Structure 1
């Protein structure tokens, strides 16, 4: 017998294939009975994220719109950044000057090197003069005053060369520090400038844009909603009383309003343990198994999560139940009340696990 999917607006439902009897007397029948949990929810794309602004500014440029496919790191929005552009330009000028001051053709270092060379030349001359004066003084061929004057000039030149060497090294070190600081400042301003250029994190489809060109955008405001255009899932809500029955990997039959009577197959992929106190439901995600619906964001769905499938169980019409677990049966022309052991049930049928057989005759209570 062909099984038919039935979506019932109740908390726990069961999928069956049978016809309900209309006689006042009937007998239990063996037939297939499938237990399922009803769920409702929506379709969402995988890897969903929202682009947010990292700076204040007016939206002056937009390169993509709703429904467009975008790539990773694609520039989507540009915010006005006059003051930031000025800071970036200023830091760039300072960096170029620092690079010139520390480079091979540095005018600052060239001047200090020239001064050092001149000092070394003077030291060489003063050294020769001192040596000559010392030789003359040792032979008593010159006065002590001349000898001491030559010695003082030599020591002064030595000290001047040492001082200029230290000044050159100190200037080099300072210029290197200035260059590093300028590079860091430029990188900071460049990164700050990136805050005015809003790019995608991952490839996907733009589902919604919250700001229009020309509008003021504040830091932290959301600008666009983006998600994977190829991978989607069903986000379902299940009543808390049914949540313990649901397990990862269970089959899910999904009905989507826009597809009318078409049924999509999915599997439970994730269970969320936190109860939504607003409607007393738990969240369950289901991934589509084979054919997938189009990736329209937020489409409403109804689903049956298959809990168990019983191909052949003894069933009775539910409207023959008396109370919760009894039925009236006819035996030898007399009616008597019999207690039964129930299994799964739906709006129409109840599984009988004990108390009746196929030959039992059920009657309604008068």
Structure 2
């Protein structure tokens, strides 16, 4: 199908902008057909007809998403602007975060102090280790003294009171070493827990701080910014619109009566206002089963198969979804049709009305499946 024929196709679509009725597109020149249908008498002719469904819609970028705020705050800084190409995880906006900055600083100080308390040079652990060493030294002395008095007592060289006093000192030192060791372990474990808690708290505050620095989720183009610097932004409120900078798709709306005719994979011919007479080719990629009750249409998406338009957001388009292609069918001018299924013919000098069975049709021509032949003479009705 040539580009000129595509253009003729959209000449017909322009005349149908106010309705979403199904049309049948004829691949031969419409002008020739109109001239022939203007005569009083005519004969059915075999022509190539293409059945299509009219649709209208817009162009949108793929992977479109709205960038939202995860915290409340005033928009302090805008780093990217409409039309800019942005990369994944690039910071685009910054919110005022004085209170959060203070929380983050406090959490960081506690975390650093916890690290120092649990480090190899921890003053708290050093003090406990020093006390434990002193207790062990005393235990060693008391142990020697106890053994000496024990031997003396066994040789009746000392009194029982002195022996028991030495034994008590030894047991006391032994218990003291055990208690100080337990205290050292208990304190070390507690300092470790404090370190992990402070680290977690710091990470939470650091992540919360990231909420005030709004970044893009993926590479793309910044199409629209909803907030200005200095304005208050609420948590969950949209700040900007971002989409793919290179890939676009057509979002179409068709009349509900035509929805059952459309299937995924069907060819779509698209005319975009800003490109004047240029026609783009696409294919149906997705059907949405929910009816839009406001205008009684269904949504259909189409992917461009050849050249695609520039990624301008929301460009207005008109389209024909090719339902079937008929290389050779018997056709008559539409103005010869009487009602929905009859025509007047001339036969043996007489004029009579007969019924036909229609096939596809467009603005000017109708396919005749049965009831007429090429030799039939059609006449306009009264």
TM-score for the superposition, normalised by structure 2: 0.94
Matched residues in 2 for 1:338 and 1:214: separation?
76
Matched residues in 2 for 1:44 and 1:244: separation?
24
Matched residues in 2 for 1:59 and 1:328: separation?
74
Query: For residue 233 of structure 2, what is the aligned residue in structure 1?
Result: 217
SS of equivalent to 1:5: helix
- Give the gaps of 5 or more residues in structure 1: none
Structure with the higher helix share, 1 or 2: 2
Query: For residue 14 of structure 1, what is the aligned residue in structure 2?
Result: 24
- Of 183, 199, 214 in structure 2, the residue corresponding to residue 198 of structure 1 is 214
Matched residues in 1 for 2:381 and 2:114: separation?
101
Matched residues in 2 for 1:365 and 1:116: separation?
119
Query: For residue 5 of structure 1, what is the aligned residue in structure 2?
Result: 9
Query: For residue 337 of structure 1, what is the aligned residue in structure 2?
Result: 353
Alpha-carbon offset, residue 240 of structure 1? 0.7
SS of equivalent to 2:131: helix
SS of equivalent to 1:87: helix
Matched residues in 1 for 2:108 and 2:321: separation?
62
Alpha-carbon offset, residue 277 of structure 1? 1.2
SS of equivalent to 1:137: helix
Matched residues in 2 for 1:165 and 1:105: separation?
18
Query: For residue 142 of structure 1, what is the aligned residue in structure 2?
Result: 158
Question: Does residue 91 in structure 1 map to residue 107 in structure 2?
Answer: yes
Query: For residue 171 of structure 2, what is the aligned residue in structure 1?
Result: 155
Question: Does residue 299 in structure 1 map to residue 299 in structure 2?
Answer: no
Matched residues in 2 for 1:322 and 1:276: separation?
34
SS of equivalent to 1:147: helix
Query: For residue 265 of structure 1, what is the aligned residue in structure 2?
Result: 281
Map Cα deviations across residues 295-319 of structure 1 (whole Å, 9 max, x no partner).
1100110100000111111000111
Alpha-carbon offset, residue 347 of structure 1? 1.6
- Give the gaps of 5 or more residues in structure 2: none
Which stretches of structure 1, 4 residues or more, deviate above 6 A after TM superposition? none
Number of residue equivalences? 366
Matched residues in 2 for 1:324 and 1:227: separation?
48
TM-score for the superposition, normalised by structure 1: 0.98
Q: Which moved more, 1:17-26 or 1:180-189?
A: 17-26
RMSD (Å), alpha carbons: 1.1
Query: For residue 62 of structure 1, what is the aligned residue in structure 2?
Result: 78
SS of equivalent to 2:291: coil
Alpha-carbon offset, residue 236 of structure 1? 0.3
